[in-house]
Chains A and B, each alone.
Chain A
Amino acid sequence: MEKTLQKSPESKAGKLIAVVLIAALYIFLYLLDNVLPPNSFTLMLIPVLKKGAIYSLICVSMNLLNGFTGLFSLGQAGFLLVGAYAYSIFTIPADQHDAVYQYFEGGAIRFSVPEALGRVLGENAGNILGAILCIIFAGLVAAAFAALIGIPVLRLKSDYLAIATLGFAEIIRAIFQWNGLGPVTNGSNMLRKYTDFSDIQIGSVKLATAFPFLISMICIAIIVLLIHSSYGRAFKAVRDDEVAAEAMGISLFKHKMLSFVISSFFAGVGGALLAMYQTTIQANAFKSAMTYEILLIVVIGGIGSVSGSCIASFLYIACNEWWLRFLDSGSFFGISVPFFRDGFRKVVFSVLIMVIVLFFSRGIMGDKELSFAGLMRKHKKKATGGVEGGGQA
């Protein structure tokens, strides 16, 4: 998704292809949202595309931390939760508050940003602008949490950091479920009725699928720019050798903190998008299993590869939610297979993941990036092997 930003010198043709492909992608998404009649194929395709785009962003944000800065953090689910809640709390329409906060007398916060903007700008513009503002706010809140947590936690090394961040994610979850905060977070109950993808449209053009793509693409582009900046090089230096990096005058704590906060910002944005996708959220879903899932996608894609994370996200989501569902259904092309029953899909998945971890530890992309210029060069040379990955984000 970030192909346009590759800084390879001979890549004019590559850039052109990328631009054409991205344009084609958005035209396709437009058709999908507005023109194509829903059938059993597009019905399954649309959620996979939306969730794939969101997970791409979430995985890239984790990769920034784990792959590019070498900080093994397992707190991702916590930041997703913060982002999802920060977004939804401020986009629930005022007249829905009594229904949503049914046990807390309508809750403490009684306004909705999209609605307030909608009164001035018109409903559609209000929804889009309100959603974008709240998404950014979600990211900021998650980043603020990260900054607070980072002060103590980032002093810890590798596996201690992992377990401490995992612990913080659990603490955040417990706090959000606490009835004392009920008027804001709705306690154990779900938040719903907030602005979601189906509310996003310009005029009569629906953007339900294009919107998550747009947001994640912009965010991933920013992350890629960051990685290629001097900060990104400092992150990599910290990852490769802390002592050497420090000797070169790189402030360890400052850069670790920066990476942690930025990663959490985008995790928060991802959480907000996830909330929009799910149309309801509940703190219960943001367990450590979610972090593990994200981590495993990052590993499949290749630790230290942005395009790898994106490809792996789409592949994983498509397999998990669509292509491999037949493993659970008890039959394969009408032939009944006795061991195909509920849960078999997950067993197959976990075996696959173990195989990748043990035998293909570089994942789909290793630490390389997908670039069209590179592909064309390879093609010219007729070199076989070497090039890995093929999914088209």
Chain B
Amino acid sequence: MSTNKILLVDDEPNVRETIKELLVFKNYDVRTAANGQEALELLEYWIPDLILCDMVMPVMNGSELHESIKNNKSLSPIPFIFLSAKNEIDLIQKCLLDGADGFLTKPFKINELTLIVAAGLARFENNKNIKGNLQLGKKKRLSQLS
């Protein structure tokens, strides 16, 4: 099983480094960006299996990054999880309705983080399989027809 790749976006260097270290400890391949803009630049050449992203950041905030990822066909399937000090229920609801795969409120326990990451990755994997099966089925049906 290959190592899962995670992109962590947060403007606070201490947060960034700590979480990265935690996830590395859990055997994930982690890369970081300080804001949405940096993240997009990174995504041009490195596609992660999951994105963890802070909400309030300079230059480009979490919502803006999420929106531009959702609008990008090749990036939109990547599970996107918000990691924010904001805990207003309205905001969390909005993010989830906009298609975020999770919302973790700071501060959090490491178990919560690993759980939500693992769940996101599993779902992503599952979706990939279903899609593959569908395509396989489609091919089968096509070959049967021909």
Chains A and B bind each other: no
**Residues of B that sit less than 8 Å from A by CB:** none
**Residues of A that sit less than 8 Å from B by CB:** none
